[in-house]
A = this chain, B = another copy of it.
Amino acid sequence: MDHTPSFGTKRRRTRSVRVGDVTIGARAPVSVQSMTKTHTEDVDATLAQITELARLGCDIIRCAVPNRKAARALPRITAASPIPVIADIHFDHNLALLAIDAGADGVRINPGNMRNREGLKKVYRAASEAGIKVRIGVNSGSIRPRKGLEVRPEAQHEEMADLMVREALAYAEAAEKEGLRDIVLSLKGSDVPTTIAAYRAAAARCDYPFHLGVTAAGPPNISIVRSAIGIGTLLAEGIGDTIRVSMTGPPQEEVGAGIAMLEALRLRAPVGPQIISCPTCARCEVDLSALVEEVVRRVQGLSIPVKIAVMGCVVNGPGEAAEADVGIAGGKDFGYLFRRGKKVRKVDASQLADALIAEIEKLSSGGDGPQE
């Protein structure tokens, strides 16, 4: 995959942790994760979902292993998956040991809900011997404020964040004592301020790479806002090495949203066209939403990373979208085709989309590619 990180913010320096053929941390490209929502023991359905997610740009996949039936399916999944597979384990250290035996490229545990301390040590030692990584994931939901700690309402997330960081670092220290070096941390609060505060505080106190996410983020439209703010803020500060957008919805949408976030921050080079379009106002004389939808539909699947503008105003449009490689500005009867802010020619209003697509095809046929 052609990741080209170019966001100027200096990324936090971390140790390097390998998961299969993907590097997490050490300023490697930020990877996108998702989680299968099939039953893990249904190997065909699970592999089909993984394969589709990989095709959409997912770099690492996680599968829940809630029981032995799921654990027994893992070897066939890890053997056939096109991307590294991480086993997600709750409560039972024996399932984690089975997952490591099954060839998982990593395991994700929350030591807070794995009560068997000796079992937990076995997991760390087995992972270390197998050379795979362990994500130690702490959720605000699993932290119980200590006795005697009065939590002021307005500072709640700062104090919760501090508890989460202290807990995560204590767990990591225990894992290191068992010889484990390949550790990734996550500190997911159930709200955005807690999540941001926890990662910011942890960033200064360790060199572990971070898995970013906002937990229980909700249905897609709500999750996207919460996740984009939580994950985006941290990435824009140089914090975060692998991300997962979690939503109550199809994993395909999780991957799409994750990639959109990286592209928005220029942490991943777009593989296809990027569309910018104006919000319209009283100046607009065309049905711009319909025009944008048509353009989106017609450029789908193109693999040229051209920046396309669809603007609703012949007067302001070309200038305001001067960064676009190519664009159209619509008017009542006619509009303009433009390139890099310069009008190419006047076009009948009904022909604007056609003219744009023809110009993009000219660009993509080479010789006259996008300038950047």
From B141, B222, B292, B311, give the contact of A341 (CB < 8 A).
Answer: B141
Q: Which residues of B contact A372 (CB under 8 A)?
A: 153, 156
B88 touches A281 (CB 8 A): yes
Q: Which residues of B contact A36 (CB under 8 A)?
A: 281-282
Known: A229-B264, A257-B225, A321-B190. A219 touches B281 (CB 8 A): no
B64 touches A218 (CB 8 A): no
Of A122-130, A176-184, A312-320, the one touching chain B: A312-320
A139 at the interface (CB under 8 A from B): yes
By secondary structure, the A interface counts as mixed
Q: Which residues of B contact A7 (CB under 8 A)?
A: 193
A6 touches B265 (CB 8 A): no
Of A12-20, A246-254, A357-365, the one touching chain B: A246-254
Of A52-60, A164-172, A272-280, A346-354, the one touching chain B: A272-280
B320 touches A282 (CB 8 A): no
Residue ID in chain B nearest A281 by CB atoms: B64
From B37, B218, B261, B279, give the contact of A254 (CB < 8 A).
Answer: B279
Copies of the protein in its oligomer: 2
A207 at the interface (CB under 8 A from B): no
- Distance from A332 Cβ to chain B, minimum over Cβ atoms (Å): 12
1/0 per position for A1-33, CB-CB distance to B under 8 A?
000001111000000000000000000000000
A319 touches B140 (CB 8 A): no
In the bound complex, what is the Cα–Cα distance between A237 and B200 (angstroms)?
Answer: 11
A6 touches B154 (CB 8 A): yes
A216 touches B321 (CB 8 A): yes
